[in-house]
Amino acid sequence: MNRTIQADLVLTGAAEVVTFREAPRGRMGEAVEQTTVRNGSVACRRGRIVYIGPAAECERRVHLTGNGEAVDCAGQVILPGLIDPHTHLPFAGDRAHEFRLRLRGSSYEAIGRAGGGILSTVRDTRAADEDVLVEGCLERMDRMLTFGVTTAEAKSGYGLSLRDEMRQLRAIARADRHHPVDLVPTLLAAHVVPAEYADRRQEYVELVAKQMVPAAAREQLARFCDVFVEEAAFTPNEARTILEAARRAGLGLRLHVDQLSAGRGAELAAELGATSADHLEHVSPEGMKALARAGTVAVLLPAVDLFLGKRTFPPAVDLMRAGVPVALATDCNPGSCMTENLPLAASLACMVTSMDTDEALAGMTIQAARSLSLEATHGSLEPGKAGDLAVFAVAERTRILYHFGINHCRTVVKAGKVVVRDGRRLLEESPEPEPA
Ligand code: NIG
Ligand code: FE
């Protein structure tokens, strides 16, 4: 096949072009196939990948159109653009003082019971203008992008009223329109029961199921619906009521489960046919089997455990052995994990769960895409898929995670356009957000 390929962007001569794709179940190597092209190039046209393969063949076959651009990637590693499949992006205020309280012995749960925790961010978020929420999202998306993240899930959940949840979802939609990072919006109105419903929790569950879910779906402001299932949040039965309404409204399902205590949350996620089950520190062996049977993706967030001073980590290797696809995320939020650095979260995942580095790279790419139902178009380097690429200044892929806590990402391509060059966001791509 010597057909000429037209391209408007070529990344040339990378030390490694690395991609992962789904394969039959089992631990890594079986669950996900890894392909590395040494001295490889990737070309895009009109936002999509048109070539991935050896640099020499690329030079022969790929023809750059008029004002097309070639980026020399010698000595660097090209990966699919990273995907962060669990964040709480729109929020106001911060909870640095809670971080210090925990270091002096308070627990996340005790701080929450005393009126801090999620409810304190709810107060700050309700009091903030929608424009401030949009600005906050955009700042965080800038940081994500420079770490190589080209797509992120973003949850509401700090509004907890019809008006405030919709405002958070609108802030997500506006930020998405004005930034190269694509956001996948999730309604998390069932994050905790708001203070004004403390004695009428059933009424709140009905409000979420009968008003917020239909409104979010009708206005196309959410693609997924999430519920925090935990003693201090919602029961499995309450989650069922909300998520069944979400399914009827056409939303995909994800759940925060088995994070702080064992609650048979994985079993619930599997029973409901959820796309993802997130956290899973206390997942049971039956829960793992149920997730595998249901094809639900486990989204693990071990940076949260470290940030909260917990020492129970999600059993990543057991989940993979059971045949569950494992994705990794930051959980970026002001209370339980204040970072936008997805590669750092992946390095920490390797250290505390013994995931292999290739499993972690797959967890931030193809498995993350799968956890957002985006695997047909994103998460791997294949002709026809989105031209989303992240280029790291390391000679070999392991070093992205091995040399941890610093940013190796130099170049980011979103939909076939260079949006980060020499580690810096190119600003001409981002017009100011329009007023609400
Ligand atoms: O994913 N688990 C519940 N929700 C968030 C924390 C949100 C917060 O503390 O503000 C989480 O960890
Ligand atoms: Fe979360």
pLDDT above 50 for 27: no
DSSP assigned state of 234: B
pLDDT at 22: 78
8 Å CB contact between 162 and 211: yes
Q: Is 228 in the pocket of ligand 1 (CB under 6 A)?
A: yes
C-alpha–C-alpha distance, residues 59 and 54, integer Å: 9
What are residue 185's DSSP bridge partners?
A: 154
* Distant-in-sequence, close-in-space partners of 403: CB < 8 Å, separation ≥ 6: 394
Task: Identify the pLDDT of residue 427.
Answer: 86
Cα 185 from Cα 172, distance rounded (Å): 7
CB-CB contact of 388 with 378 (8 Å): yes
pLDDT tens digits, 36-90: 999 999 999 999 999 999 999 999 999 999 899 999 999 999 999 999 999 999 9
Instruction: Judge contact between 64 and 353, C-beta under 8 A.
Output: no
Amino acid at 262: A
Summarised one tens digit per residue, pLDDT across range 160-196 is 999 999 999 999 999 999 999 999 999 999 999 999 9
Partnered with residue 250 across adjacent β-strands are none
> Can you tell me the mean pLDDT for 331-342?
98
CA 432 to chain CA centroid, nearest Å? 25
Q: What is the structure's pLDDT at 29?
A: 42
CA-wise closest residue to 341 among 69, 66, 145: 145
Question: Is residue 186 in contact with ligand 1, taking CB distance under 6 Å?
Answer: no
Instruction: Please indicate whether residue 304, judged by its CB atom, sits closer than 6 Å to ligand 1.
Output: yes
Nearest CA to ligand 1 atom 1: 331
Interval 127-161: pLDDT, tens: 999 999 999 999 999 999 999 999 999 999 999 99
The gap from C-alpha 377 to its chain's centroid, in whole angstroms, comes to 16
Taking the centre of ligand 1 as the mean of its atom positions, its distance from the CA of residue 333, in whole angstroms, is: 7
Total Cβ atoms within 10 A of residue 75: 11
Q: Is the pTM of this model over 0.95?
A: yes
Which 8-state DSSP code applies to residue 211?
I
88 C-alpha vs ligand 2 centroid, how far in Å?
6
Local confidence band at 435 (pLDDT 50, 70, 90 cut-offs): low
- Tell me the pLDDT tens digit for each residue of 207-250: 999 999 999 999 999 999 999 999 999 999 999 999 999 999 99
Beta bridge partners of 228: 256
